[in-house]
Amino acid sequence: MEHLVSTWIITMLIAIFVCFLVSEITGNYSQVDKLWSLMPLVYSFIALMAFPSPRLWIMSLLVSIWGVRLSFNFYRKGGYNIIPWKGEEDYRWKVLRQHPALKGRLRFGLFNLFFISFYQHFLILLFSSPLLLAAKNQTGNLTFPDIIAAFLMLVFIVIETIADNQLFTFQKLKHQQQKPEGLYGKSLEKGFMSEGLWRFVRHPNYASEQAIWISFYFFGVAATGNLINWTLAGPLLLILLFSGSSQMTESISSAKYPDYAAYRKDVPKFLPDIFRKR
């Protein structure tokens, strides 16, 4: 087990070093973004090869479905390039480079080292850590919590897929000169997505991503029999990351689109209001 943990840590440190070095040399700070959907696959493969079990096979399969789907979504938005260090950079890194507290090569370089490269990779390892509990606590039979965790994870992967497809279609339409009548007409008029799943929450894709890894946590619950265990740190810190990320995204949208403030006031951020009339 110690060898598995050390292999994970070495893998993470190599990824941190590569992402930091490449981003500093190229000026493209989306290197961790390229690996976000791939590192959990690497961790699951390492764990599965070391401690194969029915639970780890199911967990690895679900992580693979999540990772392939998210990688495809990142690819179609221009995030990957045939030259590995190129590709579209997340627009939020460009905004942060202009922030007074981060302006300058040295200050943003330190931010890149400790937050973009180190913290985000450490977070990926943390929300993947139920794999470690499944490897450590080998059991012959799957349990009811395993079934619930797998079912919920699949449901939220489907919801995230729908949300990403709706947003991708909207962005394509937004950049076309001729807009088809009817499809996302209100959103195109306002300039931001407010239809489809965006009628219910302002960030259905972010909400689903958080829910996926909260569901994944319950595989660790099934493995240990403990409702609360140390791997809870992963989904909790992920929620904090998305809270901050969505706040920044919304501040940019509010400055660009006059109608966004009303939308922000009327529609919940992550959790839908099931009692609200529409």
Over residues 20-72, the pLDDT tens digits come to 999 999 999 999 999 999 999 999 999 999 999 999 999 999 999 999 999 99
Q: Would you say residue 269 has pLDDT above 90?
A: yes
Q: What is the pLDDT of residues 117-127, one digit of tens each?
A: 999 999 999 99
Please check whether residue 254 lies inside any domain of the structure: yes
Q: Which residue, 231, 213, 226, is CA-closest to 145?
A: 226
pLDDT confidence band for 98 (50 / 70 / 90): confident
Residue 225: inside a domain: yes
Q: What tens digit of pLDDT does each residue of 242-257 get?
A: 999 999 999 999 999 9
Dist CA 191 CA 189 (whole Å)? 6
Q: Which residues contact 47 (CB under 8 A, 6 or more apart)?
A: 4, 56, 60, 131, 132, 134, 135
Q: Which residues contact 29 (CB under 8 A, 6 or more apart)?
A: 23, 89, 90, 93, 97, 112, 116
Asked if residue 54 is part of any domain, the answer here is: yes
Instruction: Let me know if residue 276 belongs to a domain.
Output: no
Q: Please report the pLDDT score of residue 199 as a whole number.
A: 94
Q: How many domains does the chain have?
A: 1
Inter-residue contact 202 to 250 (CB < 8 Å)? yes
In a domain, 271, yes or no: no
What confidence score (pLDDT) does residue 138 get? Answer: 81
pLDDT per residue as tens digits for the range 2-19: 899 999 999 999 999 999
Per the domain annotation, does 277 fall within a domain?
Answer: no
Q: How confident is the model at residue 277 (pLDDT cuts 50, 70, 90)?
A: low
| Residue 170 CB-density burial (10 A; 0-12 exposed, 13-18 middle, 19+ buried) | buried
- Say if residue 140's pLDDT is above 70: no
The whole domain housing 30 covers: 2-266
pLDDT band of 151, cuts 50, 70, 90:
very high
In tens, the pLDDT along 203-234 reads 999 999 999 999 999 999 999 989 999 999 99
CA triple 178-184-185, angle to 5 deg: 60
> Residue range 180-189: average pLDDT?
85
* Long-range contacts, stretch 139-144, CB < 8 angstroms, 24+ apart: 139/53, 139/55, 139/223, 141/54, 142/54, 142/55, 142/58, 142/222, 143/222, 144/222
CA atoms within 13 A on the CB side of 88: 10
For residue 33, being part of any structural domain is answered with yes
Question: With 60 as the cut, is the pLDDT of residue 177 above it?
Answer: yes
**273 domain-assigned:** no
Taking residue 236's Cβ as centre, other Cβ atoms within 10 Å add up to 16
Span of 69-78, 181-190, 199-208 with lowest mean pLDDT: 181-190
Contact present, 102 and 108 (Cβ < 8 Å): yes
Would you give the distance in Å from CA 277 to the centre of its chain? 30
Inter-residue contact 200 to 245 (CB < 8 Å): no
